[in-house]
Amino acid sequence: MQVFIEKQVRVGVGVILVKDGKVLLGKRKGSHGEGSWAFPGGHLEFGESFEECAVREVAEETGVSIKNIRKMIFTNDLFPIEEKHYVTCYMKAEYQSGEVRILEPHKCETWEWVAWNELPEPLFIPIQNLLKEQIDPTNDP
């Protein structure tokens, strides 16, 4: 008997967390995009707002509190090797308090604050797509 699995588009939330003109990036591990640099974030849960997801994901992954959360832009992200498809909704937020820690060591190797014009390589596919929009979230109002 064959089992057919329907492919679905998932919604991801990426949080562009800004502090002192830099953004927070983590080096992914144990998932699609392993070894690439990404913003904190994750899957939007049923019934959850984008803002709620941003607060939850940043707290779960880094232990940091955020403020001034607002919607920015979205990207359409295909991962052909993994056969995954995401729409990533980017939220911009400012650092509020807390010390950045690795709270999910099976998902993230390290967190670093980096200047927007000095992003490390390789970048997670959604960030590659974000860069095509030619925005600088550290300068956007």
Looking at residue 32, what is its pLDDT?
85
Residue 37 to residues 1, 47, 67, 97, 123, Cα–Cα distance (Å): 40, 28, 23, 23, 5
pLDDT at position 117 is 95
- The pLDDT, as a whole number, for residue 139 is 84
Domains and CATH numbers, the chain: 9-131 (3.90.79.10)
Q: What is the pTM of this model?
A: 0.93
Instruction: Decide if 96 contacts 65 (C-beta within 8 A).
Output: yes
89-130 pLDDT, tens digit each: 999 999 999 999 999 999 999 999 999 999 999 999 999 999
**Per-residue pLDDT band at 140 (split at 50, 70, 90):** low
Residue 64 has pLDDT above 90, yes or no: yes
Can you give the pLDDT at residue 7?
86
Biggest distance spanned by C-alpha atoms of the chain: 57
Bridge partners (DSSP) of residue 89 are 13, 74
